[in-house]
Structure 1
Amino acid sequence: MDMELRRISETSRSAIVLILLLCVHVAHSFYLPGVAPQDFEKGDELKVKVNKLTSIKTQLPYSYYSLPFCQPKKIVDSTENLGEVLRGDRIENAPYSFKMREAQMCNVLCRVTLDEKTAKAFKEKIDDEYRVNMILDNLPLVNPVDRGLGSPDVVYQIGYHVGLKGQYAGSKEQKFFIHNHLAFTVRYHRDVQTDSARIVGFEVKPYSIKHEYDGKWSEKTRLTTCDPHTKRLVVSSLTPQEVEPKKEIIFTYDVDFQESEVKWASRWDAYLLMNDNQIHWFSIVNSLMIVLFLSGMVAMIMLRTLYRDISRYNELETQEEAQEETGWKLVHGDVFRIPTNSDLLCVYVGTGVQCLGMVFVTMIFAMLGFLSPSNRGGLMTAMLLLWVFMGLFAGYASSRLYKMFKGTEWKRIAFRTAFLFPAVVSSIFFVLNALIWGQKSSGAVPFGTMFALIFLWFGISVPLVFVGAYLGFKKPAVDDPVKTNKIPRQIPEQAWYMNPVFSILIGGILPFGAVFIELFFILTSIWLNQFYYIFGFLFLVFVILIVTCAEITVVLCYFQLCSEDYLWWWRSYLTSGSSALYLFLYAAFYFHTKLQITKLVSAMLYFGYMLIASCAFFVLTGTIGFYACLWFTRLIYSSVKID
């Protein structure tokens, strides 16, 4: 056995070196640094890029050139990191030509004549309320919209609608109109000393205009509906551009440059303040205060009750008094009995440690500003890479618990830890990806990216799990504070409120209550295409979640032991883990009340991804409750005198 472990140790050292080299290569390949401030002189060319078409009704992104928009001479794809590819971003060059601080009016981009297929494609995207996304100097394009009700403030919506539908000129029939004229506004902050400028805003006002011209079309044809000499848009006819086969569409644009007092470091503030922050902050603080108050009450009750029990049990008692003892001390000979399906419990605990480490480190990076919204795809890339690296801790935690359960085959437990949860998630992901691919959406993961994900799993995560399992199994087993009897003690009949199903479902309510308000904003940022940025408050909510999971599990475990029920191993995991059930139910409620998804594929995507999120939340919260209960039981049974 020693020779085998020594041989594995030497092999693992070589594997660690190789894995580290591979990790550096993968991280270098997928990480794109954030954009540094760039100074532009007057007349410098500005590169406008187009991104995916998005819709909150379908949740299926498409590339910009999937519609017959005007194209440059050669379409060039931008380099994207792993997170951007998984998000469905497809960043490409645009045919728009901007010159820094040089206004342009009525620039004709191209002329397109629709056929049956292209007209149908435009109508489908307009009907599904798709939005066009563009990027200038790493700033996403926004459409300022008045709040209404006399408010001077505006709301910035990301991108602009492909078009709109409605009735026109007394017709009762619904018609489709395309936004074929774009009025861009580029805001810049000028350096007085150098006269150079930095871009701090990128806005657009879309219009639907049926352009007209005299004579036959040529490159020098002047539009009668748009006069660049008078620098104004002639819309006296107010005739929108209808989308129909054999219709001619002329795409035009204006560019205006406006100096701004906003500095480059603060240019993202307008994007991050899209939500009503007063309501957001008040809701978060209110939720935290309620949870802290409840947690304080639970902790106070537990400490007082438990202290009284331990003091009473440690007093010198007569033989008759000892025989009359009741409560948790009576099950000291069975409380550390190995549970059923102990191997599976070890795997779940190891996976939960992996999730916990990934979430914790991701939040630290996010609070330090490394994962800001300006770094597109950075958050998802970081989470994937951290999940891979945390496989080391997953293997260590599962093998340590496995050895405490007197297990001997550490390779088997390492194998199950490395493959069980990722296999479930991957199966769901592959099915969803097939559905997206069937819709010809840009959200479908390409083959190269799929190969990279498989490499991260099999080439890095799996070896790290085995290395962690070896290191954990090599350490001496944790001894129980009391001896376990050979014959199991009979569990008395329990009260109705101590029924396992009832207590498990009750235990998940409080942890879910700690996060459900913040969960609303997270779901809004994911499914309604908004930015999420208050990672400091999210970290506080995460800490409160940990404390709440630990306390509610300890309280219910104490009540269970006092009822002489010693089967606490799995129940401690399921008690806090049941909060994932409420998370999924809330996701279903959010789907029916906030989203406008009508297509079956889109609904399957939503519930598929929320199922993955709920599974991750289950193993994370369940592991927190399990370790809290394990610490609690070891503490109380090592603090009393056992004859």
Structure 2
Amino acid sequence: MGCGMLGRVTAILVCLLWISSVHSFYLPGVAPRDFQRGDELQVKVNKLSSIKTQLPYDFYYLKYCMPDKIMNIAENLGEVLRGDRIENSVYTFNMREEQPCKVACRVRLDAKAAKNFKEKIDDEYRVNMILDNLPVAVLRQRRDGSPSTTYEHGFPVGSKGNYAGSKEERHFINNHLSFRVMYHRDPETDAARIVGFEVSPNSINHEYKEWDDKNPQLTTCNQNTKNIIQGSTVPQEVDTDKEVVFTYDVTYKESDIKWASRWDTYLLMNDDQIHWFSIINSLMIVLFLSGMVAMITMRTLYKDIAHYNQLETQDEAQEETGWKLVHGDVFRAPTNSGLLCVYVGTGVQIFGMTLVTMIFALLGFLSPSNRGGLMTAMVLLWVFMGLIAGYSSARLYKMFKGT
């Protein structure tokens, strides 16, 4: 009624403001999802990553449990450039229904599979998984013993070490995953939103009496077992013809963290990826070279200034030489003026792309929950900023009397 009494334009604006104040909106791809008790949760797998080699691998490059049909989840341009390969997995949960122990599959490692696992363990590769657009993380206590905790992206493929008094270093695979899903529940509707996805990887050499593909029963892991990680648990070694049984358990924990703040903890992750030695080494080289250039320049300038001061007292009309001729070069076109115009245009293009990207990030359009959004925005802005780059290059070329 009120909107009909106002002018057409004013009515539309008032209605839009009223609607936006009552119904909030979310950016595409980052809207919240409500889950009822018992709803199926599908865990997706992502690439294998390492800070040691920087070369990503597909999750199923290693001989992990595979579903009947592998489906590639739709990826945007940024995810492709980042090397993300998001696919479905055999890990399925039911919302707020705990699973003490569940067998994923049983595989036998051939020579190639064992070799791949050992190489990835040596290169410190980590497995990345996704649940409701949240990456899996490993909870880690701080080294200083403080009660606060930090997260690490993904979990390691395995570890190396000695076992049972052996001096030979062996490879062990993390074949048991203890998942913990944190959720925030609405007391009115009893619907829940996922606000955290943690995992605790372990290596267990599972045992069983007789294998049944339809209903496998393990003596080291069954539905009635609450805590299978004992002090005497034998780890699962990686070797040719070794049989590996992959298992997992799921627990749920209610959290006070709201859906809008669930990424705050992930943004404060510390993966120890700061290479301090390389930073200090590069800084020392830059300072040393800068000092050398400054000393040589100052010596040359002091010598020339003293020489020109003597010439001024003797003969003021003597022709200028040396670095004093630079004042005339600013009015002359450079030799490779076309190349300079290209460089200036490219610099303007990079500066414009960086500036607009930072503005979008400050406005919240490049949220980390929108995976690959930052890379996609940078590529598209680089293309669009080519218009400004072309104008800057052409204007400078025209100033140099170019044709």
Deviation at 1:217, TM superposition (A): 4.4
Structure 2 counterpart of 1:158, which letter? H
Q: Which residue of 1 aligns with 2:145?
A: 150
Q: Which residue of 1 aligns with 2:341?
A: 346
Q: Which residue of 2 aligns with 1:214?
A: 209
Aligned CA distance change for structure 1 residues 220 and 74 (closer, same or farther; 3 Å): same
Where does structure 2 lack aligned partners over 5 or more consecutive residues?
1-26, 272-315
Where does structure 1 lack aligned partners over 5 or more consecutive residues?
1-31, 277-321, 409-643
Query: Structure 2: how far apart are the matches of 1:331 and 1:183?
Result: 70
On the 8 A contact 1:167/1:174 being kept in 2, the answer is yes
Q: Which residue of 2 aligns with 1:182?
A: 177
Which deviates more, 202-211 or 341-350?
A: 341-350
Residues 1:140 and 2:135 aligned together: yes
On the 8 A contact 1:226/1:234 being kept in 2, the answer is no
Query: Structure 1: how far apart are the matches of 2:371 and 2:198?
Result: 19
Query: Structure 2: how far apart are the matches of 1:147 and 1:60?
Result: 28
1:377 to 348, 351, 372: 372
Deviation at 1:206, TM superposition (A): 0.4
Deviation at 1:33, TM superposition (A): 3.0
Q: Which residue of 1 aligns with 2:60?
A: 65
Query: Structure 2: how far apart are the matches of 1:236 and 1:381?
Result: 48
Structure 2 counterpart of 1:249, which letter? V
Q: How does 1:27-42 map to 2 (within 5 A)?
A: 33-42=28-37
Q: Deviations over 1:383-427 (max 9, x none)?
A: 11111011111111111111111111xxxxxxxxxxxxxxxxxxx
2:249 to 254, 267, 285: 254
Q: Deviations over 1:40-67 (max 9, x none)?
A: 0000011210000001111000010111
On the 8 A contact 2:108/2:243 being kept in 1, the answer is yes
Q: Which residue of 2 aligns with 1:120?
A: 115
Q: Which residue of 2 aligns with 1:86?
A: 81
Structure 2 counterpart of 1:72, which letter? P
Query: Structure 1: how far apart are the matches of 2:375 and 2:244?
Result: 39
> Secondary structure of 1:187's match?
strand
On the 8 A contact 1:224/1:234 being kept in 2, the answer is no
Residues 1:407 and 2:402 aligned together: yes
Aligned CA distance change for structure 1 residues 341 and 167 (closer, same or farther; 3 Å): same
Structure 1 counterpart of 2:76, which letter? N
Query: Structure 1: how far apart are the matches of 2:106 and 2:325?
Result: 86
Aligned CA distance change for structure 1 residues 230 and 323 (closer, same or farther; 3 Å): same
2:331 to 319, 329, 336: 336
Query: Structure 2: how far apart are the matches of 1:338 and 1:360?
Result: 30
1:107 to 94, 102, 107: 102
On the 8 A contact 1:227/1:234 being kept in 2, the answer is no
Residues 1:198 and 2:213 aligned together: no
Q: Deviations over 1:53-85 (max 9, x none)?
A: 001111000010111100111100011111110
Deviation at 1:378, TM superposition (A): 1.1
> Secondary structure of 2:237's match?
coil
Q: Which residue of 2 aligns with 1:130?
A: 125
Aligned CA distance change for structure 1 residues 216 and 89 (closer, same or farther; 3 Å): closer
Scaled by the length of structure 1, the TM-score of the pair is 0.49
> Secondary structure of 2:79's match?
helix
Deviation at 1:368, TM superposition (A): 1.0
On the 8 A contact 1:179/1:207 being kept in 2, the answer is yes
Query: Structure 1: how far apart are the matches of 2:39 and 2:127?
Result: 25
On the 8 A contact 1:162/1:178 being kept in 2, the answer is yes
Aligned CA distance change for structure 1 residues 227 and 235 (closer, same or farther; 3 Å): farther
> Secondary structure of 1:350's match?
helix
Query: Structure 1: how far apart are the matches of 2:197 and 2:216?
Result: 29
> Please, what is the CA RMSD of the aligned residues?
2.2
Query: Structure 1: how far apart are the matches of 2:240 and 2:326?
Result: 80
Query: Structure 2: how far apart are the matches of 1:218 and 1:78?
Result: 28
> Secondary structure of 2:349's match?
helix
Query: Structure 1: how far apart are the matches of 2:216 and 2:87?
Result: 29
> Secondary structure of 1:135's match?
strand
Deviation at 1:335, TM superposition (A): 3.4
On the 8 A contact 2:101/2:222 being kept in 1, the answer is yes
Query: Structure 1: how far apart are the matches of 2:223 and 2:324?
Result: 89
Q: Which structure features the higher share of strand residues?
A: 2
Residues 1:362 and 2:381 aligned together: no
Deviation at 1:90, TM superposition (A): 0.1
Structure 1 counterpart of 2:77, which letter? L
Structure 2 counterpart of 1:34, which letter? G
Q: How does 1:487-498 map to 2 (within 5 A)?
A: none
Scaled by the length of structure 2, the TM-score of the pair is 0.78
> Secondary structure of 2:166's match?
coil
Query: Structure 1: how far apart are the matches of 2:143 and 2:351?
Result: 44
Q: Which residue of 1 aligns with 2:238?
A: 243
Residues 1:50 and 2:52 aligned together: no
Q: Identity rate of aligned residues, in percent?
A: 69
> Secondary structure of 1:107's match?
strand
Q: Which structure features the higher share of helix residues?
A: 1
Structure 2 counterpart of 1:346, which letter? C
Deviation at 1:375, TM superposition (A): 1.4
Structure 2 counterpart of 1:176, which letter? H
Q: Which residue of 1 aligns with 2:382?
A: 387
Aligned CA distance change for structure 1 residues 331 and 127 (closer, same or farther; 3 Å): closer
Query: Structure 2: how far apart are the matches of 1:191 and 1:323?
Result: 90
Number of residue pairs matched?
A: 330
Deviation at 1:369, TM superposition (A): 1.2
Residues 1:97 and 2:92 aligned together: yes
Q: Which residue of 2 aligns with 1:489?
A: none
Query: Structure 2: how far apart are the matches of 1:215 and 1:391?
Result: 66
Deviation at 1:221, TM superposition (A): 3.3
Q: Deviations over 1:302-321 (max 9, x none)?
A: xxxxxxxxxxxxxxxxxxxx
> Secondary structure of 2:115's match?
helix
Query: Structure 1: how far apart are the matches of 2:223 and 2:211?
Result: 19
